[in-house]
Amino acid sequence: MGKTRVADYIADFISGQGVKDVFMMSGGGSIFLDDGLACNKDLNAVCVRNEAAAPMMAKAVAMLTKNIGVVYVTSGPGGANAVSGLSDAWVDSVPVMVISGQVPRAYTSYNVKDRRIRNFGIQEMNIIDLVKSITKYAEVVNDPETIRYHLEKAVHLARSGRPGPVWLDIPLDVQAAVIDTSSLEGYEKDEGAYCNTPVQIEEIIALLKKAKAPLLIGGQGIKIAGAVEEFKELVELLDVPVIFSRMGQDILPFSHKNNFGHGGMKGQRFTRMITRESDLVISIGSRLSVPFLGENLDAFSKDAKIVMVDIDEAELNKPTIKIDIQCQADAKMFIRELIRRLKAEKLPDTGGWLKECRELKEKYPLILPEMKKDPIDLYYFCSRLDAASGGSNIFVSDAGSSYYVMGQALRFEKGQREITSGAFASMGLAIPLAIGCSFADKDAQVLAVTGDGSFELNIQELKTMSYYKCNVKLFVINNGGYVSIRNTQDRVCEGRYIGSDQGSCDDVLNFKKVADAFDLPYSLMDKSGSIDEDLKKIMSKSGPILIEVVCDNKQKIIEPIKPKEAA
């Protein structure tokens, strides 16, 4: 240790966290920060083509490596561009740390008496005020001697409790300052994860003793808490049906006897019949979001008792759902405690209820024989992609129909993982997320499915994909663009299309030419009969490729059946 430049200290700190790749775009305001990366032998700088995409890539890395994802951007517009990807990490609870360059301290608007000044130094802006509402911690580092404190605090906050993005803004003169690392003060962490719910656990057990149709809901919080094994143990101990939120659906294989797949408005056909019938819902690590509850918030029976375990108090107190037992707790600690107590109890047999659920699962398969047709049905395509995949595959989906269909068609039988824009289902994240996945796990093969509308938003990153030879198979669903918006316009605007069809904007790209322009190999899939063979060929090779999949432009999305409709 000893004397070192702040920029080098930051790079060393990041590599000390076990981070391998930093997603960055160079700039005058981050010149020393960037040089700190250049001087660090353990960090790999991945150059993106628009700062918007960097936090998306870092998000995928953070989720797969269970570490922080790191982004470097320059001042002013560099930081502003990154807001786009960062907001997605915010809603999806992902610890992404952005280190931004800033003008020298004397020229920052933070240090001007009248902070309403719009722009002060060269390419300067008050980025902290801009990102405050979408970060857990956002600070400018004005004193070089506080760098260790800020970094430790930022990483701790990013990863603890409900994880989320953090931001440190480093003025140029601070980046270049030389500090004595032996005298730096650190950050004292608070206690971190907690679970203080003995009373609630007794109440839950009392409810379980009375319940005739208990149901578990699992969400991403289980993965974040590192409680996947504990959750499986709980499922098997209780031997009740379990339904997952979108970001929790890769926790159990679909064929698992207790698993009824992905629920919510765009869940499996039969999930709604199960959720409506349950008299005791125990949700762990799922926000029970509006898309899960349904537009009329009637996913559960009014008489059902609802237990919700979530680390975020704000989620427990939402007006959309009345929670009977609130447990603000870390999922892992909660599940362990519940299991410990359950082992001392004898619960009533609810095997009949589980059997009923299984009958529904068999009665309403997602993929029907008539889906094998031309033009290709997106459900059929995604189910064949799922069938062709194995444990080293990571799925990435994009917005709109690819989001919905992948959510329903993936079965996760072989330990495949999925990375997506969960809460937002943002358009255009498939390309950057897929790139991030390929860096996070160099042995993995990424299977990304995007739509022709979503594809365009971060098309610039195709060059990043080809330049770094990312092992990404990018399937672009050509269905005439914006099919999901057209479906809504048909429903509520008497079929007036705007911004969603060829008459107004959506003359789709020539994907073969696009692939060529960005130095990517190209392949076309337009026959349902040869999908399996085509996939085998595509997946047998390493490296990036763009595959155009010509699909039905009238694709409809399967909605869960309402219980009364089934009756």
Please give the residues from 542 up to 561 whose contact with a second copy meets the rule CB under 8 A.
none
Q: What is the DSSP letter of 181?
A: G
Write b or e for each residue in 412-422: b if 16 or more Cβ atoms lie within 10 A of its Cβ, otherwise e. bbeebbbbbbb
CB of 400 to a second copy, least distance (A): 9
Shorter beta-carbon distance to a second copy: residue 178 or 498: 498
Q: Is 196 in the site for a second copy (CB under 8 A)?
A: no
Q: Is 245 in the site for a second copy (CB under 8 A)?
A: no
- Give the one residue of 26, 160, 268, 471 binding a second copy; rule: CB under 8 A: 26
Q: Is 119 in the site for a second copy (CB under 8 A)?
A: yes
How many residues sit close enough to a second copy to count as binding (CB under 8 A)?
102
Q: At what angle do helices 77-91 and 54-65 cross, to 10 degrees?
A: 40
DSSP string, 319-370: TTS--SEEEEB-HHHHHHHHHHHHTT--PPP-HHHHHHHHHHHHHS-S--GG
- Give the one residue of 2, 3, 314, 343 binding a second copy; rule: CB under 8 A: 314
- Write the interaction track for a second copy spanning residues 251-290; mark x where CB under 8 A is met and - where it is not: --------------------------------------xx
Q: Judged by CB under 8 A, which stretch of 22-30, 442-450, 535-543, 555-563 contacts a second copy? A: 22-30
Shorter beta-carbon distance to a second copy: residue 219 or 428: 428
Please give the residues from 198 up to 227 whose contact with a second copy meets the rule CB under 8 A.
none
Tokens encoding 148: 């260790």
- Give the one residue of 15, 67, 87, 286 binding a second copy; rule: CB under 8 A: 87
93 φ, ψ (degrees, to nearest 5)? 60, 45
Q: Judged by CB under 8 A, which stretch of 37-45, 196-204, 224-232, 552-560 contacts a second copy? A: 37-45
Shorter beta-carbon distance to a second copy: residue 301 or 487: 487
CA dist 25 and 49 (Å) reads 7
CA dist 218 and 231 (Å) reads 8
Q: Is 133 in the site for a second copy (CB under 8 A)?
A: yes
End-to-end CA, the chain: 72
CB–CB of 479/552 below 8 Å?
A: yes
Please give the residues from 147 up to 166 whose contact with a second copy meets the rule CB under 8 A.
164
Please give the residues from 42 up to 81 whose contact with a second copy meets the rule CB under 8 A.
45, 47, 49-50, 52, 76-77, 80-81
- Write the interaction track for a second copy spanning residues 432-461; mark x where CB under 8 A is met and - where it is not: ------------------------xxxxx-
- Give the one residue of 10, 11, 94, 103 binding a second copy; rule: CB under 8 A: 103
The residue whose two tokens read 């990304």 is 448
Q: Is 500 exposed, middle or buried (0-12, 13-18, 19+ CB in 10 A)?
A: buried
Q: Is 81 helix (H, G, I), strand (E, B) or coil?
A: helix
CA dist 83 and 81 (Å) reads 5
Shorter beta-carbon distance to a second copy: residue 134 or 539: 134
CA 114 from chain center: how many Å?
Answer: 39
CB of 156 to a second copy, least distance (A): 19
Please give the residues from 480 up to 539 whose contact with a second copy meets the rule CB under 8 A.
482, 484-485, 488-489, 492-493, 496-500, 504-507, 509-510, 513-514, 516-519
CA dist 367 and 353 (Å) reads 25
Please give the residues from 359 up to 398 whose contact with a second copy meets the rule CB under 8 A.
none
Tokens encoding 342: 């359950």
- Give the one residue of 139, 279, 315, 377 binding a second copy; rule: CB under 8 A: 315
CA dist 408 and 506 (Å) reads 27
CB of 201 to a second copy, least distance (A): 24
Q: Judged by CB under 8 A, which stretch of 61-69, 86-94, 324-332, 364-372 contacts a second copy? A: 86-94
CB of 341 to a second copy, least distance (A): 30
Q: Is 25 in the site for a second copy (CB under 8 A)?
A: yes
CA dist 382 and 369 (Å) reads 14
CB of 100 to a second copy, least distance (A): 13
Question: Count of alpha carbons within 13 Å of 368, Cβ hemisphere only?
Answer: 6
CB–CB of 385/449 below 8 Å?
A: yes
CA dist 534 and 115 (Å) reads 59
